[in-house]
Amino acid sequence: MPQEMIHPGTTELTYRDAVREAIRDAMRRDDRVFLMGEDVGRYGGCYAVSKGLLAEFGPERIRDTPLSESGFTGAGIGAAMAGMRPIVELMTVNFSLLALDQIFNSAVTVRHMSGNQFGVPLVIRMATGAGRQLAAQHSHSLEGWYAHIPGIKVLAPATVEDARGMLWMALQDPDPALIFENVMLYNMTGKLAADAGPVNIDKAAVRRPGRDISLITYGGSLWKTLEAATVLAGENIDAEVIDLRSLRPLDDATIMTSVARTRRAIIVDEGWRSGSLSAEIGMRMVEQVFWELDAPIGRVCSAEVPIPYARHLENAAIPQVPNIVAAAKAVFGRA
Q: Which domains does the chain have, with CATH numbers?
A: 11-193 (3.40.50.970), 205-331 (3.40.50.920)
pLDDT of residue 8: 57
Sign of CA dihedral 189, 195, 198, 199: negative
Residue 70: Cβ-neighbour burial (10 angstroms; 0-12, 13-18, 19+): middle
Q: Which residues pair with residue 281 across a beta bridge? A: none
Helix (H) or strand (E) holding 167: helix 160-171
Q: Are 164 and 127 in contact (CB under 8 A)?
A: no
pLDDT of residue 307: 93
Q: Are 243 and 218 in contact (CB under 8 A)?
A: yes
d(CA 93, CA 147) in angstroms, rounded, equals: 13
pTM (two decimals): 0.94
Q: Are 215 and 206 in contact (CB under 8 A)?
A: no
pLDDT of residue 91: 94
Of 173, 308, 335, nearest to 246 (Cα)?
173
Of 87, 70, 95, 96, nearest to 36 (Cα)?
87
Question: Which residues participate in catalysis according to the annotation?
Answer: 69, 138
How many beta carbons lie within 10 A of that of residue 60, not counting itself?
7
Tens of pLDDT along the chain (335 residues) come to 333 334 558 899 999 999 999 999 999 999 999 999 999 999 999 999 999 999 999 999 999 999 999 999 999 999 999 999 999 999 999 999 999 999 999 999 999 999 999 999 999 999 999 988 888 989 899 999 999 999 999 999 999 999 999 999 999 999 999 999 999 999 999 999 988 889 999 999 999 999 999 999 999 999 999 999 999 999 999 999 999 999 999 999 999 999 999 999 999 999 999 999 999 999 999 999 999 999 999 999 999 999 999 999 999 999 999 999 999 999 999 87
Q: Are 91 and 126 in contact (CB under 8 A)?
A: yes
d(CA 85, CA 287) in angstroms, rounded, equals: 38
List the beta strands (DSSP E) in 67-188: 85-92, 123-128, 153-155, 177-182
Which of left, alpha, beta for 115 (phi over 0: left; psi -120 to 50: alpha)?
A: left
